Structure 1
Amino acid sequence: MLDAHRLAVLAEVAHAGSIAAAAKRLAFTPSAVSQQLAKLERDVGARLLGRHARGVTLTPVGEALLAHAEAIVGELRTAERTVRALLEEEPAQLTVGTFASAGMTLVPAALADFRRDHPGVALRLLDLEPPDGYGLVRARDLDLLITHRYPGAPLPDPRGLDRTLLRSERFRLILPKGHAKARVRRLTLAALAAEDWISGSPGVPNRACLEQLAGAAGVRLRVAYETRDYQVIVALVEAGLGVAFVPESVLERVSPARVDVRDAADARPAREIFLVHHRRPGRLVTEMVARLNRPQ
């Protein structure tokens, strides 16, 4: 039978991205972590990790074992918290993971409302860019994950978890205030092909979405400024440096006097926002989900 402690070490290394980072979180030495992994590999009879200069990557066997390790660690943590709560040795806690723009728009009011009703619950918020976070929910490092999917992007395997659609959020085209193209009656991506665009770096979801839209429209767009931070994108557009697509919720905090907001006739992107939690979420998670589902 595989050792649960060694499986927990594997999960920690996978989440931390390196043996050194996992050792720090576990309060072990790196050599002790390496020894536990070596013993687990002997138990399994296969290599689980590939080591490289920037950390580690899981082998296919390691990836398959990780999902089970996360589930086992999650069950052990749930059992431990249940006992400690019954013995009043540990206060109730709720850990939420979210991506940046949801952390700015969707989460604050829900957390504040939750805090008013549950002042004794320890709240924790983690900044996680999708698709990260699913494994943390399985291992019970996270109680609730707020994540998204852009058009055309695959969804991670939700094995052992519940994933529900919270909302679909459309994107709007923003241009510097007074931009000549903002007055065009039927604005298309082709009409903006000569503009400097602002988006994430290659592989970042908003960049992949933009490239997909451009391909569908049969045009090539030039991304001159790369950032995944929508607040930075808005600031660069305000400064007259380019044009961009941003989620509609981000524009709730942007003055109409600062940018021109339009829709492209040939591109109406939207992203799906999901809530992910364990199949037995518990009362606190259920209450937070209810708050997030309330109309904004």
Structure 2
Amino acid sequence: MFDLHRLRLLRELKHRGTLAAVAQALSYAPSSVSQQLSQLEAEVGVPLLEPVGRRVRLTEQAEILVAHTEALLQRLERAEADIAASLTDLNGTLRIASFQTAALTLVPTALGLLRELHPHLRVHVTHMEPEKALPALQARDFDLIIAEEYPGNPNARPAELQQEDLLDDTLHLALPKPADSTETDGPMAALRPLADHPWVMEPEGTAARHWAMSLCRSAAFEPDVRFETTDLLLHVRLVEQHHAAAFLPDLVWSGRPPTVPLRHLPRGQRARRVFTVVRRGRTRHPAIQACRDALRRAAALHSHIST
């Protein structure tokens, strides 16, 4: 029978990419990880790793083992969930990753609900953008993440992950100064005059940036992106002081009135989807269910305030 601990190290290598990253994540020496994987190769009787430059990659047989390891770990997580469900009180630690605006608006309210209902549950929250949080969830660094999906930019949906919607977050064009156009002129009438104006957007490689660039190009211009940051509060400040135009979601206002002129976007581009993601083996865990319920209530409260 193969050693489960060594199988988990092989799985970690698939998700983290290098022996050094596996060692750092698990607080092991790299030599120890390498030794354990060598012993696993001896158990299996076939090569599991092959060198590619200074790195290694998994062989076909290693990929087969990782697929079975994923199934085993998912079943163990279900066992953990069943044990937790048999207890009368929730305890332990729940690890959450969230992007900024959800962390500012939804998470504090959800934490208050969880503290009231489950005072012995320790919740650890990390600010992390979905592009990094999703792989970290698969690597078991987190138990639940809050993610976003922009119009026309669907996320990958790995079979081992399960999503649940929270809300549709309305997106607007934020004007650096009052525009000559009005809402009745149509969305593009406000967008096109900003072709030569500086913009603030999220960094290259993010879903938000890809969506924003596509939207500007649909209006027949290439935006002059002078400011790049994932901090949407900085986006707001730059628009307030007339340094840049931006696309801003409703969540950034946290239920307060907007401080800059806003315009509607074209149909089909007016909202991003906000949702939670967990590994399938954790869906029935009481702590996950309690957290998702608290986040749903927080999202409903935000939607009520916004309307």
State TM-score, norm by structure 2: 0.78
* Aligned counterparts, 1:1-296, within 5 A: 2-14=2-14, 16=16, 18-40=18-40, 43=44, 45-47=47-49, 61=60, 66=66, 68-76=68-76, 79=79, 91-134=91-134, 136-137=136-137, 140-176=140-176, 179-181=177-179, 183-185=180-182, 186=185, 187-252=189-254, 256=258, 258-264=259-265, 268-277=269-278, 278-279=280-281, 280-294=283-297, 295-296=300-301
Unaligned runs of 5+ in 1: none
Deviations 1:2-26 (A, max 9, x none): 5321232234445555433432332
Could you say if the C-alpha distance between residues 58 and 246 of structure 1 is closer, same or farther in structure 2, counting changes exceeding 3 Å?
Answer: farther
Deviation at 1:82, TM superposition (A): 6.9
Deviations 1:131-166 (A, max 9, x none): 444455456543322111112223223313321222
Instruction: State whether residues 14 and 57 of structure 1, in contact with CA within 8 Å, keep that contact through their aligned partners in structure 2.
Output: no
Q: C-alpha separation between the residues in 2 aligned to 1:165 and 1:244?
A: 25
Could you say if the C-alpha distance between residues 57 and 190 of structure 1 is closer, same or farther in structure 2, counting changes exceeding 3 Å?
Answer: farther
Q: SS of 2:166's equivalent?
A: strand
Instruction: State whether residues 49 and 59 of structure 1, in contact with CA within 8 Å, keep that contact through their aligned partners in structure 2.
Output: no
Q: Aligned partner of 1:233: which letter? A: H
Deviations 1:241-277 (A, max 9, x none): 1100011110236664x42222245784321112222
Q: C-alpha separation between the residues in 2 aligned to 1:267 and 1:216?
A: 13
Q: SS of 1:110's equivalent?
A: helix
Q: C-alpha separation between the residues in 1 aligned to 2:157 and 2:50?
A: 20
Deviation at 1:202, TM superposition (A): 2.0
Q: SS of 2:110's equivalent?
A: helix
Deviations 1:105-153 (A, max 9, x none): 1111011110111111121113332144445545654332211111222
Q: Aligned partner of 2:274: which letter? A: I
Q: SS of 1:201's equivalent?
A: coil
Q: C-alpha separation between the residues in 1 aligned to 2:13 and 2:94?
A: 23
Higher relative contact order (CA 8 A, sep 6+): 2
Q: C-alpha separation between the residues in 2 aligned to 1:170 and 1:87?
A: 40
Could you say if the C-alpha distance between residues 82 and 70 of structure 1 is closer, same or farther in structure 2, counting changes exceeding 3 Å?
Answer: same
Could you say if the C-alpha distance between residues 76 and 120 of structure 1 is closer, same or farther in structure 2, counting changes exceeding 3 Å?
Answer: same
Unaligned runs of 5+ in 2: 302-307
Could you say if the C-alpha distance between residues 15 and 284 of structure 1 is closer, same or farther in structure 2, counting changes exceeding 3 Å?
Answer: same
State TM-score, norm by structure 1: 0.80
Number of aligned residues: 288
Could you say if the C-alpha distance between residues 268 and 129 of structure 1 is closer, same or farther in structure 2, counting changes exceeding 3 Å?
Answer: same
Could you say if the C-alpha distance between residues 136 and 49 of structure 1 is closer, same or farther in structure 2, counting changes exceeding 3 Å?
Answer: farther
Q: C-alpha separation between the residues in 2 aligned to 1:154 and 1:58?
A: 28
Deviation at 1:30, TM superposition (A): 1.4
Q: C-alpha separation between the residues in 2 aligned to 1:66 and 1:23?
A: 18
